[in-house]
């Protein structure tokens, strides 16, 4: 039986990695997304762009921002503070994934 490893967790959600497949599960509120490493990095880039625009241009904190997640007809609607919480999860998880890769290479 395969387990999972919690990579990052906060009060809004978590990111876990499936032990057998390596799939990354982002749970956020009532939404679950399953990503590869590259898809998670791409999702982080989209969130980071919105986050940076918020600080550079003073975007409205109460406005919902639409994030395209791959399907032509499916978007996430999030406020800027929620995007910040997702970024916290993504940054921690992606850092741990890179550290894990380095450690695995050192063992070879």
- Pair 77, 65: CB distance under 8 Å: yes
- The pLDDT assigned to 108 comes to 66
Reported as a single tens digit per residue, the pLDDT across 48-83 is: 999 998 888 887 888 898 888 776 788 899 999 999
* H or E element in which residue 16 lies: strand 13-18
Query: What's the rounded mean pLDDT across residues 30-49?
Result: 92
Total tally of structural domains belonging to the chain: 1
Tell me the pairing of strands 65-68 and 75-78: antiparallel
| Model confidence, pTM | 0.87
Domain range for residue 48? 4-107
> In this structure, how many other beta carbons lie within 10 angstroms of the beta carbon of residue 24?
23
């Amino acid at each position: 039986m395969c387990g999972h490893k919690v990579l990052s967790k906060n009060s809004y959600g978590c990111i876990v990695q499936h032990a057998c497949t390596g799939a990354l599960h982002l749970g956020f509120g009532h939404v679950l997304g399953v990503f590869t490493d590259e898809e998670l990095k791409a999702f982080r880039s989209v969130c980071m762009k919105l986050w940076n625009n918020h600080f550079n241009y003073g975007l409205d904190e109460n406005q919902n921002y639409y994030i395209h997640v791959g399907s032509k007809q499916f978007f996430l609607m999030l406020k800027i503070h929620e995007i910040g919480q997702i970024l916290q999860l993504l940054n921690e998880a992606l850092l741990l994934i890179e550290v894990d890769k380095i450690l695995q290479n050192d063992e070879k």
